[in-house]
Each structure stands twice: as C-alpha cells, then as structure tokens.
Amino acid sequence: MDAYSNIIVQALEHSKNPVVKIDCFRTENGKTISSGSGSGFIFSSDGYIFTNSHVIQQAASIKVTLVDGRETEGVVTGKDPDSDLAVIKIYEHQLAVSMLGDSADLKIGQLVIAIGNPFGYQHTVTAGVISALGRSLRSTTGRMIDNIIQTDAALNPGNSGGPLVNMDSQVIGLNTATIQHAQGLCFSISINKAKDIATMLIRDGRVRKAFLGIRMQDVNLHPRVINYLHLENKRGIYITSVDAGSPAESAGLKEGDVIVNFGGNVVNGGDDLFRLLTHQRINSETAISLVRKNNSMLHLDVIPREA
C-alpha cells in the first residue's frame, strides 16, 4: 500500500468507531414518519454526541445507530440554530469516544478526512485538504457562523454533523454544509467553537445571548462623515426602530441613529454586532458609539439583557 493510503487508513482506524448515524422521526396524522437523517460523533464516555442543529430540527424522536450495530434512543441536550450545533445524549455502555483536536493549529493544505452517512450509506469516508480557514457562513437563522473551515473533502446530504479529522485521528471540525451545484466547496464548524457551544448546551440546554432591542439595517457612511468624525468605519448600522422598554431605549438610542462602535469594537454591520452580543455582555454596561442625524457623535452606555 502506498504511503498516502497508509496515512489515511491509520488515521481512520482510530477515528471511525465514535461516528454514529442519526435518524429523525416525526408524527404526522398519527403515523411516525422519517424527517431526515444525518451523522454525529461521540465526544464523551457518558454518551454526549455532537451533530448539527438542522439535522434534528424537525425531530420528535431520534434513533442513534452505533458502529457495532446497536440502536438506541437519542435525547436532545440542547441545540443552537444560530451556530448550527446540537448535542444529544445516549445511555449506552462501552462507547468509543472521539479525540478532539485544536482547530487553532490548522494549516491550509493539510490532509483531512470526513466521515459520515451520506444518503444513508453508513461510515462513508472521503479525504481532501483544508482549502481555507476563517471563512464565515450564514446559518438558517440568518446569523453568521465564524471561523468556518473550507475543505474539498466531498460532503453530501447525510454527512451533516459528522467529524472532520486530521491525520492524528483528532476531530478538528464538524461537517455542516456544501454549496449546491459546486464541487470541492464544503464547510465545517471548527471544533474549538463547537467545544465552547457544547459547554453551554450541556450546562444550560441553550446558548445564552444578549440583545439590545432594535431593528436595523446596514448602511454606507458618507466619506465626509467619516473624515469629519475621524471614523475607522466604511459602513454602520442604521436603527430603523427601537423596541419599547428595551435596553436600547433605556440607554437613549433613537430611530435614525447609526451605530459605529460597540464595546470598543468597530462595527460595520449587523453581523459584527451579533458577534459581540455574547452571553458575557448580558447585564454588563457596554459603551456604544453612534452618529445622530445632525452628524454629531454620541457615546452612550447600554446594558444588554438576555435574549
């Protein structure tokens, strides 16, 4: 066997057993019907499994099939559609567990393996390289998912939720999406982000987020305004309305204001603001800078609440 094949086989030998097949079911007119299937992988010895939120989104019940053929019920621990991540739990013994790597150490061009169950074909393996790092991908809720890994390891429907593995048999990503009608454009959520989300899902059953209570749209800033106010921005966030009783109203934000900075961070659009409205901001006084209609700069303090 050639050296390349040998590397793939050895990496797969230590990473395939924790991968599971996930079948979802819903009840319709008194009948139980399939609502889709996907993949996942066991990341703790007490039965916690990573998968995608969109895999289990419509599920009333979940069946998990292990590598040894055992079938068991999966219970949703928590899911976060904004990051397309979910954790489910099974109650079984003698479970194979994935080794979780560090996605901060990844390099463009390094070899990776994707394992999953495309179209129901269990434990299908594809190989490729990391094509790019630090991509952003919009989730089904409209929020951006950051630090996405782009790979050319082929993914198909059913691969969602399966692991992306390096040559040390460590999971460095969670396969999540492809671009339809494109070849070699496949995306995985970094395992470092997934670990952070999993901690919150296991502890709280959800991901806590902060909110301001505004309706908004992205706008371009006039060059004269940028120069006059010495802004680092090219764009800003135009407030179209402020919810009554919201943190934004309490702080003095008004319709027509343009937000340009939040917590000391330049914000060029709604995606930038959403990234900053993490659980750490809840009930924490945060500086916000905005341009009012007369082109004056205002610096206010806002206390975001939990969404």
- As annotated, the active-site residues are 54, 84, 160
Distance of alpha carbon 307 from alpha carbon 302, whole angstroms: 15
**Residues 202, 212: contact at Cβ < 8 Å?**
no
Distance of alpha carbon 146 from alpha carbon 142, whole angstroms: 13
Q: Which secondary structure element, helix H or strand E, spans residue 126, and what is its range?
A: strand 124-138
Distance of alpha carbon 171 from alpha carbon 112, whole angstroms: 9
The amino acid at residue 86 is A
3-state DSSP call for residue 7?
Answer: helix
3-state DSSP call for residue 230?
Answer: coil
- φ and ψ at residue 103, rounded to 5 degrees: -75, -10
